[in-house]
Chain A
């Protein structure tokens, strides 16, 4: 069975999203490092069954502690069976999230970006040009609010469109956006 992996920095809402998408119950708390092991469940997308995995948060693919190790190892092992990596980014701290996104792209994972906590970003007067980000990265980008479920339908509809791209192409597209 193909896998869908939930990846992202700590405390960005991966586990909330996992519960919403799969219906499984996992622990959600408002501090980094809540999830320290992976949890698997099932979900259906467009009639096809997938295995969806909630991973511990990580800042990069070079693990700094044992929880990050679990995430990186799972990413490594699941690579051949990965249908999509849902890369969850905290919209109030885009930079930290993008670092991991670029790493994922470099290693050739099929990525869909979920710009989560978009409600918090709006409150903080942070605007993100989703279309432009999508053009630069060359992968689908969806604004979501995991706690209310907003945007998740759209996110799921993009899972099928996830495909690998490479970092040189990202650089090229970035230069094009420059003018």
Chain B
């Protein structure tokens, strides 16, 4: 076959022009209400108040929906009926956890626990956290997110965020992975592919992995410390920007500007919303629930073999002095390797057993949030960025962990919580 002629970029655009001149006929077009609303939602003066309203609606819906299923249904069922029944019926219970059989310890947990956060067994805490707390949060979050995605609000949010994000060397469109990340970090890290340079991709993946908690984790935070969840989120966003600004200075490379493509508003189709919701819930059930269960088994085994006690003793000075939390938090940090939602759930158990004060709970929730991306995210960053980027990410992570954990300790102490 003979070599085909190739055009230069300019020649090609010229040809496009010639063709479209002959085939496209534009009639007189009057602005519709949709266009006006579209315009108003990207102009800062009107767009920012509207954005506040949208985010307010998002948060309130999330709280009411998750609260209904968790506080209204799951908590009474699990704590009042399921847990006592299981503790009574399961063979091998002793007067204390240590005197119970290993199987009892792993599956049921503490025979004297009065709630499912404290018990910490596979059939108690793991099931309760996965289905009673996190599942409703996931459904609520993705229901709203899907509607926002499908109507086309996200690129408008990106346009509004562009000015701020540019200050830290990111394109406004980075807000889209950030929002996705509030659902689950894994697809968000994947979504960083749309960023143009290696620098931007690395920065974004790292910042997402380090600072953005997922819906599962937010759901359980809202259950445990509803009055502080908002503040913790704001603190983490602050960390996101501070670290972003620093990385932007340190890392060589370009942060080019491109225009954000804003598609027209479209009305969400119910079938698509339901299909996507189904896809995401199924993804959660398939990838999260096994890790929650595995995590509880592993952590219980580590307790049983004394590894966690040893770790606690070794790291005690660091935790007590620098972060102001008891060394018992180490167990939760081990859990956080696998699932952060379950790790926060563990902290809730410690708090309800009186081991953690409210201030310490807040600090340790921040620690768990920053500390390490969950296993799935870790693998994703590795796959997308390679070993070098992963190691660099971990460096950023370790730094953030000490700085922002210590800072939170200071804040909590000063505020006297």
**Direct A–B touching in the complex (beta carbon < 8 Å)?**
yes
Measured CB to CB, the residues of A under 8 A from B are: 10-11, 25, 27-33, 36-37, 56, 64-67, 70, 94-95, 98-99, 102-103, 106-108, 120, 124-130, 132-133, 136-137, 147, 166-168, 170-171, 174, 177-178
B89 adjacent to chain A (CB < 8 Å): no
- The minimal Cβ–Cβ distance linking A49 to chain B, given in whole angstroms, is 25
Chain A residues, Cβ within 8 Å of B12: 99, 102-103
Q: Which of B161-169, B194-202, B330-338, B408-416 is the contact stretch?
A: B194-202
Q: If the complex has contacts A126-B24, A128-B24, are A108 and B4 also in contact, measured as CB distance less than 8 A?
A: yes
Partner of A125, one of B29, B173, B201: B29
Chain A residues, Cβ within 8 Å of B350: none
A27 and B276 within 8 A (CB): yes
B155 adjacent to chain A (CB < 8 Å): yes
Cβ-closest 3 pairs across A and B: A125-B27, A33-B194, A66-B193
Partner of B22, one of A67, A129, A167: A129
B22 and A170 within 8 A (CB): no
- The minimal Cβ–Cβ distance linking B22 to chain A, given in whole angstroms, is 6
B196 and A64 within 8 A (CB): yes
- A45, B298: Cα distance in complex, Å: 51
- A147, B272: Cα distance in complex, Å: 10
Partner of B5, one of A65, A106, A120, A125: A106
B19 and A98 within 8 A (CB): yes
Q: Which of B231-239, B261-269, B358-366, B369-377 is the contact stretch?
A: B261-269
A36 and B5 within 8 A (CB): no
- A161, B93: Cα distance in complex, Å: 73
- A33, B263: Cα distance in complex, Å: 12
- A28, B7: Cα distance in complex, Å: 34
Total inter-chain residue pairs, C-beta < 8 Å? 127
**Chain B stretch 1-49: residues in CB contact (< 8 A) with chain A:** 1, 4-7, 12-13, 15-20, 22-29
A120 and B4 within 8 A (CB): no
A174 and B19 within 8 A (CB): yes
A30 and B149 within 8 A (CB): yes
Partner of A25, one of B4, B5, B27, B279: B279
Interface string of B181-210 (1 = CB under 8 A from A): 000000000110111100001000000000
B396 adjacent to chain A (CB < 8 Å): no
B13 and A67 within 8 A (CB): no
- The minimal Cβ–Cβ distance linking A43 to chain B, given in whole angstroms, is 19
Chain B residues, Cβ within 8 Å of A130: 23
Partner of B16, one of A67, A99, A106, A178: A99
- The minimal Cβ–Cβ distance linking A138 to chain B, given in whole angstroms, is 12
B154 adjacent to chain A (CB < 8 Å): yes
- A70, B194: Cα distance in complex, Å: 11
Further contacts, 17 of them, CB under 8 A, given A27-B276, A94-B24, A128-B25: A30-B263, A31-B152, A31-B154, A31-B263, A32-B263, A36-B191, A37-B190, A65-B195, A95-B16, A95-B24, A102-B15, A106-B5, A108-B4, A125-B27, A129-B23, A167-B6, A167-B15
A102 and B263 within 8 A (CB): no
- A66, B16: Cα distance in complex, Å: 26
Partner of A30, one of B6, B28, B151: B151
A133 and B19 within 8 A (CB): yes
**Chain B stretch 262-298: residues in CB contact (< 8 A) with chain A:** 263-264, 266, 269, 272, 275-276, 279
Partner of B25, one of A30, A31, A126: A126
A98 and B16 within 8 A (CB): yes
A127 and B19 within 8 A (CB): no
- The minimal Cβ–Cβ distance linking B258 to chain A, given in whole angstroms, is 8
B150 adjacent to chain A (CB < 8 Å): yes
22 A-B pairs (CB sep. < 8 Å):
A29-B154, A29-B276, A30-B149, A30-B266, A32-B261, A33-B191, A36-B190, A65-B193, A66-B201, A98-B20, A99-B16, A106-B6, A108-B4, A125-B28, A126-B27, A127-B26, A129-B24, A129-B25, A133-B23, A167-B4, A168-B5, A170-B15
- The minimal Cβ–Cβ distance linking A117 to chain B, given in whole angstroms, is 10
Chain A residues, Cβ within 8 Å of B173: 33
- The minimal Cβ–Cβ distance linking B329 to chain A, given in whole angstroms, is 37
- A136, B17: Cα distance in complex, Å: 13
B26 and A126 within 8 A (CB): yes
Chain A residues, Cβ within 8 Å of B150: 28-30
**Chain B stretch 105-158: residues in CB contact (< 8 A) with chain A:** 146, 149-152, 154-155
Q: If the complex has contacts A33-B194, A95-B17, A132-B22, are A167 and B27 also in contact, measured as CB distance less than 8 A?
A: no
